[in-house]
Structure 1
């Protein structure tokens, strides 16, 4: 590593991400655990303590071949990812491959390097009585007492914790020293009343002369006052409340307003109907919201278990998903504008006539799902913090968080349905509602324009053109359905109309999407690097900070409505632009439209599951980055800029 830079141990401390290595080995080969040399304790400004390595580090794993090898050579491959930091942090990754001949063992070319780091490998804690360790809990501290002949008062002693997810540790300190004894005090935060010890390393000496022993926590019974285990101690209830609030605020985001307006329109139609029917409609709408959120959580859990990085709104980084959403939005809009009506066949109509009071439940369910799908590119206030926490926790907690968000989003509709008297405050049904319905159709067409802009940012202008051609053919098919494929038309007419519709859709999918659209190349979003904004790369960020310039990073995406709102109303306003210029702030735009992996790692570094994210790096090596809230105002940005003081632009 370059001087001043460092990477992280398997438990990084207050900040950081440990190095990860994933092997792709031939069948029958086995790989052991990653062996970490004894780390160093590094201090950062702001009382931040991290555990890691500088200058160089060697991480080793033992790979065992099968008993019999028929090949004359074998190929070993691995994917490595890491985070290296100085005054900024830069994520890195590499794909490595090594082909080895099958034969007798040769002396390692780097035997001296391996021997040097082997001395830094922690040793097992002595099983005999040469050294003893005892733990006890004292309020919010763990106390560790070590005794043994090696613990003389002249050698440096330290403890590196390896806590479980249910315990958050502070900075271990030496509480007392005596010949043959050293006591540590380790602050902790946990709701686990039985937590009285943790795993860790006991380290004597420092730098190259340090020695370490692994100290496993003794077996203990974990008891909670509530009778069940609590998987997180950082105030899980607080994060769930944030998820609840974030879900509620999603109803106010521009992404979902067209669909929410449709639900309010449905409430107007239901005014005066039976309370039972209104409640069923609200429950169906809520079920649609929960179905999408829980389904999305399950997909994220499966991706996480497969080793993929999981992020919020990941599906919108796939242009084919955005294309499918564009088609669905167009069909909804044409239906509202009266181009065609969605009618069940006569046999199906007769089947549901006996329970007509439930007839609107399926529509309410899909409205709930549709609203939630459109909500996912938005990161409402409170939602980013809640999701950032949930994405680092267990599968059960991730499911619980998504259920909390679904509860927050569906709460207003459940309340309205539970108290139908409140529906009296809505306007009474009348002829004006047909005009309102058409207006909602135009709002959905506005949503379609937004989705087309996302496709343009992801795949370029050509993709927008071919998508528009497909949507035109789809519109023509819907128009044919509205005129010739209705229950009042003769069977022959419906057959011909259905055949023409199928040919239109299938031909356009094969030609425009399977051929033309697929041939378009992904291009960087046009906004990145435009005007006085520079495009983000880790090297570009490092170069600016090396020159002691303040840097503002806008983590954005073309499909993020909140991002676009913040950019249009705040970041591109005259007052904020002038403030950036007066302080010589370098503006960098990190466009995550296509899920750039380098930007994904930066988001993960700041504990965010997605965009928007706004970070200000003040000038000066010791300055900590300033993180902004998801929803910006001019006052918030100007106040934060005031804290970094004036800066000479020519610098």
Structure 2
């Protein structure tokens, strides 16, 4: 019962545990204050530092946040390569990671404050100024997309944060005072991410699972017997057992350290979003799963094990170390796939995660070996070896196969290839976990399995749980949200039927043939204009009021309004029949034609993209830069009532709509 109960707990730990994202209403126009500084490291190397003071409850998103969520910080260095080179990636101070149930991804962000540090090496003689354009999104219950212009004056040893693009562009002509620069004495220390603890505990649980495999479990009594017989007295036996456990930890931590050293602590995080590495991880996990199914064994060369055994025969501390190494090599066919999976997961986290992951894994293996050697009588409570050990391997194979498709899904989402959409992903998981349930009930038997006449109560309970989980997945094929596994399958909008089969989630069911020119289908199949002039012209022709919606593709609370307010029948009917919807996205990256680009007279910022254009329009017209923001207008552009921002109360939003529509109909 214990062994299957532990598998059940691990599976629950793997597919659950998502946190909600923040939100308190606020329309503060500038919730982030930036400061810039320069520190000289040597004659050609400088540290360029940005410090942000973030207002309470607001979030600024990391460079490494999931690209399918809120917008990450972007740093655009001008004249890089020609005048200077970047020494490694931009380092970040402490970040937090939480699951967004809106975007269905993990989002990484800063709260309260942030520090970004980029080391550069000068390649152009007498370079005095380095320029950076900083783009970011800051969110609370509204989102603001910002662009700042940073000047790092190397000779003056100072940094400037400018709001005006023309001043930024012309900075080279401004006279500067030269000041002495003090070299940096210490490297900037970065705090570990909270996600490292998740890696540690997952690795610790995986280490206990590795103990239950046929390559490791039978070695416990053999190893303990060796120490009790070879030791001269009980005290020596205890010392040797503790040393043995310590060396197991050292060996696996060295492996994690090696991975970090080869790839680099910061590079691992960047690799986690790389298409090819996600595909490689997918292939690796599929290979590991097939190995656990018994098709073949992943083994290190026998010559390695023989050589290590000879070293172990020497005895003493040296011999104990090689006994621990022999355990790692001999058990590799079972532990290798688990260790490989952990290192893949750790690579996704980056930083010290591989080291911490191997520490957790090795502790889980080392503690029981040392504990049973210290107290041999405890071995009487161990279950006997048998066919159940192979069953544990097979169950792990199913879990690894399911996890593999998460990495393939990541690659597909980045490529936007739509080969593994939500329905396909769920169909694969239903097949995998359905087969696992049949295996647990004894209806499927693999080549290495021992024939069984009956199943244990623990196996029955675990099998029932897996079957229930499989049945839970099935409605997801028809649009059910499946919050239990949020973050694993592709998001709802990455689907063959993003609005539900037959538009079951509501909406007009309008088709493109029914839409006016320059319109498109928005949420709930609403006819939506994304160009202000086109929408206003249609409203004038239809003699309907306009709902002007300032929004963003990566705006959390814009999506919450659409999903939780707009979808209510009393709201949706008004959006369908009583207004013309114009949605202006302030974060669109589509470039404006060269002739249409300009510098804003209102903000002094450069206007290069369609998103910049609508953001500037919002600020100029309504003196606000936060989204969501809703305005009810006549077709002539006159306001019908007071505009509002994020309004999660359905009744309040309905009353506001009715007020404006009634004013238009007078």
Measured against the shorter chain, the TM-score band is 0.3 to 0.5
With a CA cutoff of 8 Å and minimum separation of 6, indicate the structure with the bigger relative contact order: 2
**TM-score normalized by the length of structure 1:** 0.37
Name the one with the larger helix percent: 2
**TM-score normalized by the length of structure 2:** 0.37
